[in-house]
Structure 1
Amino acid sequence: MRIKRNLITGGAGFLGSHLTDRLMEAGEEVICLDNYFTGIKSNVEKWIGHPSFELIRHDVTEPIRLEVDRIWHLACPASPVHYQFNPIKTAKTSFLGTYNMLGLARRVGARLLLASTSEVYGDPEIHPQPESYRGCVNTIGVRSCYDEGKRIAETLCFDYKRMHETEIRVMRIFNTYGPRMLPDDGRVVSNFIVQALRGEPLTLYGDGEQTRSFCYVDDLINGMIRLMNCDQTGPINIGNPTEFTIRQLAELVREKINPNLQFIEKPLPQDDPMQRKPVINLANSVLGWQPKIALENGLDPTIEWFKSELEKSK
């Protein structure tokens, strides 16, 4: 059986590098594409020089010609701090990047998996969120570049499927955490851990009663690989349905690192969703997937990762 050749866009990023590890360990070939806006070369450094691994510095908003069997399209800044830094570039990455990757998939007959997001649901009016929910998104807000960008990326995928019979898989990723997150990405898990390790008060936005569901990265990658390998197009929610308030997360991080830390409250950012929890019945029935790693267990290796990163920066 021929070894599969995989292209991972955003392959040096948080999720992309974990996916790279899994595919390389499985004996497959990996071409890692990244422009290093949020990706870091050290995330995939151990594979550099391996005969089955290739690293290419490239921006997906520009076309590229490669021969591959599968395209894992993960390229796009996913944290508010990074995608709001240059919102026009974020929108271009979602639209042009997906357009270019779908064009490549069509030319070479590859299957493409789009890493979409729970942000397509916006600030949801129904809870929890099933795949059938069409969302409540502000088209002109500060988060729109990402939320609407991913929505049009999904649209492109399904139009390529209908017009050109391109093989697509669409995965809606809910909050994911784990080693290799960036310390400055502005996401709530990394914010709390970094603040706690530095002995700073933990910042709650609003009253901290807004909810999120946190999926450990190993579980997420398992779901991603199962979706790529199955016959289901999607969209499919992949996330942990166990719901926590932001305050509960802060208390858990504080307990693990420094129980004496204080909380401070700041105003809630514009369009920040009040609730986020996936319905994963489809992932469970079609993929046989459900998360296995509880938040309290996944936080330990994540905290150790941030400890080592902060030590390096001293």
Structure 2
Amino acid sequence: MKRVLITGGAGFLGSHLCDRFIKEGYHVMAMDNLITGDIRNIEHLFHLPNFEFYHHDVSKYIHVPGELDYILHFASPASPIDYLKIPIQTLKVGSLGIHNCLGLARVKGARVLIASTSEVYGDPNVHPQPEEYWGNVNPIGPRGVYDEAKRFQEAITMAYHTYHGLETRIVRIFNTYGPRMRLNDGRVLPAFIGQALRGEDLTVFGDGSQTRSFCYVDDLVEGIYRLLLSDYAYPVNIGNPSEITIKEFGEEIIKLTGTKQKLVLKDLPVDDPKQRQPDITKAKAILDWEPKVSREEGLRITYDYFKNLPEEELYTAAYHREFSKK
């Protein structure tokens, strides 16, 4: 039985990856300090003999007993509310954390896959964004702590690949959604759905003309799994190229949820990307991958998840959102 370590394993993406590798017959070790992760995302796996959980911060020394075949580094705050609230920890997990994972991989002879992001492209001047585009990032802006942490992760991962011959994979993740997202994480989809469920107007930042491309989580996990098992060491975009404006997306959520509320425009945050759409030519050619789940189907599944959450979670989310502005 092959053994895989998934850092950030109690998070939104990490927990879905735990499920996938359990399904594929791996021995899964999830590691998370639970700053932004939620133990409830993986509680259903605790009874399994081939699942372990380590409550640990990957920015500190990592020890995992026994053999290790793969490491997936997904530990990091991933939403603006989180990384603006804990900027130093965000930088540390993207530097010390990845350094520890790469060091562990060398000792164990393991292959490493790191979770990079479309944020390495910043507010792009090239559209859609191919992997060859170097990006337009403000390193000292409020989003720089996350953007530059991910850019550093890519740089040190490639350095370990070229200098030490370590087997490495880099996935650049575009906007992803699905069950287990947190309503209070500040990202557009859970924010819209949370506001609709509470009967609030939906907040659109800017004039709503900025675009995003939303990929359902099962499609993303499939792409990541294929990339890990491929022989391609350079970055690969994984995302859904179906682009939509935020205003149009808000209107879709209003229709989906049946709310009578309206869209309310507010000032655009500093350095917020105006366009985001992946060029997935490489993923199609190298991994034979492209998304299968339509936005209509994925949103329906995600909305069903959110509307069945305990009512107190809706208002806890609202409290956190308001608190984060202070």
Worse overlay, 259-268 or 215-224:
259-268
Match of 2:255 in 1: 255
Whole-Å Cα distance in 1 between the matches of residues 276 and 143 of structure 2? 16
Mapped pair 1:13 → 2:1: no
Other-structure match for 2:156: 156
How far is 1:261 from its partner? 1.2
| Counterpart Cα distance in 1 of 2:162 and 2:234 | 14
Structure 2 residue aligned with 1:50: 48
Secondary structure of 2:42 counterpart: helix
Post-superposition offset of 1:311? 3.0
2:62 corresponds to which residue?
64
Amino acid of the residue matched to residue 218 of structure 1? Answer: D
CA contact (8 A) 2:196 2:259 kept: no
Tell me by how many angstroms 1:312 deviates. Answer: 5.7
Letter in 1 for 2:42: V
User: What is the distance in 2 between the residues matched to 1:310 and 1:304?
Assistant: 13
Q: What are the equivalent positions in structure 2 for 1:139-288 lying under 5 Å apart?
A: 139-288=139-288
One-letter amino acid of the structure 1 residue matched with residue 5 of structure 2:
L
Letter in 2 for 1:180: R
TM-score normalised per structure 2: 0.94
CA distance in 1, matches of 2:268, 2:96: 31
Aligned counterpart, 1:38: 36
Deviations 1:162-210 (A, max 9, x none): 1110110000000000000001000000100000011100001000010
Q: Cα deviations across residues 134-176 of structure 1 (Å, max 9, x unaligned)? A: 0000010000000000000000000001111011000000000
- Please tell me the residue identity of whatever aligns with 2:124: P
Q: How does 1:297-312 map to 2 (within 5 A)?
A: 297-311=297-311
Q: Unpaired segments of 5 or more residues in structure 2? A: 315-326
Verify the 8 A CA contact 1:199 1:258 in the aligned structure 2.
no
Stretches of structure 1 that go unaligned for 5 or more consecutive residues are: none
Residue type of the partner of 1:181? M
Residues 199 and 259, structure 2, Cα contact 8 Å, conserved in 1:
no
1:292 aligns with 2:292: yes
Q: Please give the alpha-carbon distance, in whole angstroms, between the structure 1 residues aligned to 2:177 and 2:296.
A: 12
- The alpha carbon displacement at 1:25 in A equals 1.4
CA RMSD of aligned residues (A): 0.9
By how many angstroms is 1:304 displaced? 1.2
Given that residues 125 and 136 in structure 2 are in contact (C-alpha distance below 8 angstroms), is that contact kept between their aligned partners in structure 1? yes
Pairwise CA distance, 1:62: 0.4
**SS of match in other structure, 1:56:** strand
> Superposition pairs for residues 71-82 of structure 1, below 5 Å?
71-82=71-82
Give the partner amino acid of 2:37: G
Question: How far 1:310 moved relative to its partner?
Answer: 4.0
> How far, CA to CA, are the matches of 1:8 and 1:259 in structure 2?
38
Q: Which residue of 1 aligns with 2:21?
A: 23
* 1:111 counterpart = 2:111: yes
How do 1:128-139 residues align onto structure 2 when only pairs under 5 Å count? Answer: 128-139=128-139
The aligned length equals 312
CA contact (8 A) 2:115 2:172 kept: yes
Query: TM-score, normalising length from structure 1?
Result: 0.98
CA–CA separation in structure 1 for the residues paired with 2:308 and 2:82: 22
Partner SS for 1:264? strand
- What is the CA distance between 1:4 and its match in structure 2? 0.8
SS in 1 for 2:99: helix
Question: Shift of residue 234 of structure 1?
Answer: 2.1
Amino acid at match of 1:9: T
Q: Is the 8 A contact 1:160 1:166 kept in 2?
A: yes
Question: Structure 1 stretches (4+) deviating beyond 6 angstroms?
Answer: none
Q: Determine the structure 1 residue equivalent to 2:317.
A: none
- Shift in CA distance, 45/198, structure 1 to aligned 2, threshold 3 Å: same
Deviation at 1:259, TM superposition (A): 4.5
- Whether the aligned pair in 2 keeps the contact of 1:172 and 1:236 (CA below 8 Å) is yes
What is the DSSP-based 3-state SS (H/G/I as helix, E as strand, rest coil) of the residue aligned with 2:131?
coil
The CA distance in 2 between the partners of 1:149 and 1:55, in whole Å, is 25
Q: Which secondary structure does the structure 2 equivalent of 1:309 belong to?
A: coil
> What amino acid is the match of 2:283?
A
